[in-house]
């Protein structure tokens, strides 16, 4: 499944976030497609694929003490339209 995550943090945690980024390791079972940083500060966006609950947890839990993570399952709009056209 494809996920879009938006991570936000308090400005005073910036240095902790930067240290985490330097040490980030993507676990087996997670395929990162792309990542973006909000240039106005305190937000990070990542699009990745994962079908393994353990890999999902290993990827997110190390961040849970310093930022808020909103995870949204997504799909390309063309794929969505195709799926919905077959069903309805």
| pLDDT by 10s per residue, the chain, length 88 | 999 999 999 999 999 999 988 888 899 999 999 999 999 889 999 999 999 999 999 999 988 899 999 999 999 999 999 989 987 7
pTM of the entire structure?
Answer: 0.86
Distance CA 5, CA 84 (A): 24
**CATH hierarchy code of domain 2-87:** 3.30.70.100
Residue 77, pLDDT score = 93
**What pLDDT shows up at residue 7?**
95
Among 26, 27, 39, 36, CA closest to 5: 36
* C-alpha to C-alpha distances, 18 to 23, 43, 49, 52, 61, nearest whole angstrom: 9, 12, 23, 27, 16
pLDDT of residue 68: 96
């Amino acid at each position: 499944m494809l996920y879009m995550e938006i991570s936000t943090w308090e400005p005073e945690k910036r240095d902790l976030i930067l240290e985490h980024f330097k040490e980030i390791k993507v676990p087996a079972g997670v395929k990162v497609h792309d990542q973006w940083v909000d240039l106005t500060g305190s937000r990070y966006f990542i699009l990745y694929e994962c079908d393994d609950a353990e890999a999902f947890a290993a990827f997110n839990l190390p961040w849970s003490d310093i930022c808020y993570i909103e995870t949204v399952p997504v799909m390309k709009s063309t794929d969505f339209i195709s799926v919905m056209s077959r069903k309805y």
